[in-house]
Amino acid sequence: MTVNIAVVGLGAFGQKHLDALALIPDATIQYVAHSRMGVAEEVAAKYGAKAAFTDYAELLAQPDLDGVILATPTQMHHAQTLEALRAGKHVMVEIPMADSLAGVKEIVDVQEETGLIAMAGHTRRFNPSHQYVHNRITAGEFAIQQMDVQTYFFRRTNMNALGAPRSWTDHLLWHHAAHTVDLFQYQTGERIVTANAIQGPKHPELGIAMDMSVQLRTETGKICTLSLSFNNNGPLGTFFRYIGDTETYIARYDDLFTGREEPIDVSTVAVSMNGIELQDREFVAAIKEKREPNSSVRQVLPCYIVLDALQQQLDY
């Protein structure tokens, strides 16, 4: 069985998903969709898609479409996810799957009603670096005492990862902190019981805080400190330091090092060294095997409960 997928939204991350899907034997890039037909047709030709769309409802009406990957602007995620599920299509939505807890809960409810695969793009669960640490935790060989995380970008203008103008505004809490909040709960296997956040001034044009600090604590006292910035003019990306009872690890996306910066070979952890590809492979496999995927919308709901609590603190 080959799973026919459509990628909706063809910006920086849409392109990453298309490149990943092209490497998955059980997946076919059946359709692509974008707000501008010229872009959609160009990408369809590049990846051999059957057709290009600008009308999302028309795309979902295609009988030979199994699932969609939504790499669209954040404010579209909630409605597009619900529309896909109600059209009988499996869906993987980039994070955040909604920008409110109520929206996330509605997605979880509709997934339960339809029984379809609904998965959120919490890629850190799939990076080989974090999988290596997770495997050591589940084997009882490593226990987290503290995670220190830096999420740093230089985005004083509204640009995407390819340096092109964005049609929407990114958010430190609901997008970038979501990766770490979910990963911290996933790696510890525990519920976050204390969560604090402070933020710097909001950008006069973008309307978002450009700097933020988050503190988390689980029920047994494991802690996480997260620093986020769009003002950082230096090395960019997210860097994780796991401080544990037997070792310290530093994870930089798909790469892993000891606390002494010695490289760790994670090439045998999974079939790929690309976290996006591994995430997409899980989506395709879950559809074929008719099972709940890792990073299902139900599994990541606790992350959004914490984000909502943090947002309330910041608003107050």
Segment holding 104, helix H or strand E:
helix 101-114
Average pLDDT over residues 207-226: 96
Residue type, 210: M
Neighbours of 220 (CB within 10 A): 11
Every domain of the chain and the residues it spans: 3-121+276-293, 127-269
Phi and psi at 263, nearest 5°, equal -60, 140
Question: What local confidence, expressed as pLDDT, does residue 85 receive?
Answer: 98
Query: Residue 284: exposed, middle, or buried by beta-carbon count in 10 A (0-12, 13-18, 19+)?
Result: buried
pLDDT in tens, 78-105: 999 999 999 999 999 999 999 999 999 9
* The CA-based dihedral angle spanning residues 6, 11, 14, 16, taken in that order and rounded to the nearest 10 degrees: 150
Question: What local confidence, expressed as pLDDT, does residue 158 receive?
Answer: 53
**Fold of the domain built from segment(s) 3-121+276-293:** Rossmann fold (3.40.50)
**Is residue 168 scored above 80 in pLDDT?**
no
**Fold of the domain built from segment(s) 127-269:** Dihydrodipicolinate Reductase; domain 2 (3.30.360)
**Is residue 267 scored above 80 in pLDDT?**
yes
Structure-token pair, residue 121: 């793009």
Average pLDDT over residues 229-233: 91
Residue type, 55: D
Average pLDDT over residues 59-83: 97
- What is the rounded distance in angstroms from the CA atom of residue 190 to the CA atom of residue 292? 20
Compute the mean pLDDT over every residue in the chain, rounded to the nearest whole number.
94
Q: CA angle, corner 299, sides to 294 and 303, nearest 5?
A: 120
pTM of the model: 0.94
